[in-house]
Each structure stands twice: as C-alpha cells, then as structure tokens.
Amino acid sequence: MSESPDKTTELIRLLQNTTDQEIDCDTFWEKAAELAERDISLPIGDLKTYLHHLELCPGCAEEFALLKMVINE
C-alpha cells in the first residue's frame, strides 16, 4: 500500500518544519483557553512554540479557531 504524493509531500513539509522545542497536543491544550482569551503571559520563546504547534497541527488549529470564535462572541 503506497501513500499518495500529496500525503508524502505534506509529511515531508511537516518534518522539515519541526524544531527542537516541539510540544504535543495535550501540552498545547493545557494553555489553549488562556491563549484564546489573550489572558496569558508567556516568554516569547514559549509563545512561538505554541504558535508553531498551530502551524503544524491542523486539528489543533481548527479547534483553536473555533474556541476563539466562541470566546469572542
């Protein structure tokens, strides 16, 4: 069973964009509500790590966008 070229290309893109300070989804969601409410103060390096996770994880990015919509209504 072979992967489609689109999935392979996406996997390569994700792997090329990884950093030494990656976080997993569970770690992201520990602070997601505070981030969505803009009620958190993180060192710039930590904030970049959280934003980078959103760039690499479409599931978290979609759910985070929904969370922000709910909070801002």
Average pLDDT, the chain: 85
* Angle (nearest 5°) at CA 38 between 65 and 64: 15
Residue 67 has pLDDT above 70, yes or no: yes
Model pLDDT for residues 40-58, shown as the tens digit of each residue = 777 888 888 999 999 989 9
Condensed to tens digits (0 to 9), the pLDDT of residues 10-51 reads 777 777 777 778 899 999 999 998 888 887 777 888 888 999
* 1, pLDDT greater than 70: no
40, two tokens: 């958190």
Helix (H) or strand (E) holding 22: none
HSE toward the beta carbon, residue 64, CA cutoff 13 A: 24
List Cβ neighbours of 17 (8 Å cut-off, separation of 6 or more): 52, 55, 56
Domain boundaries, the chain: 21-71
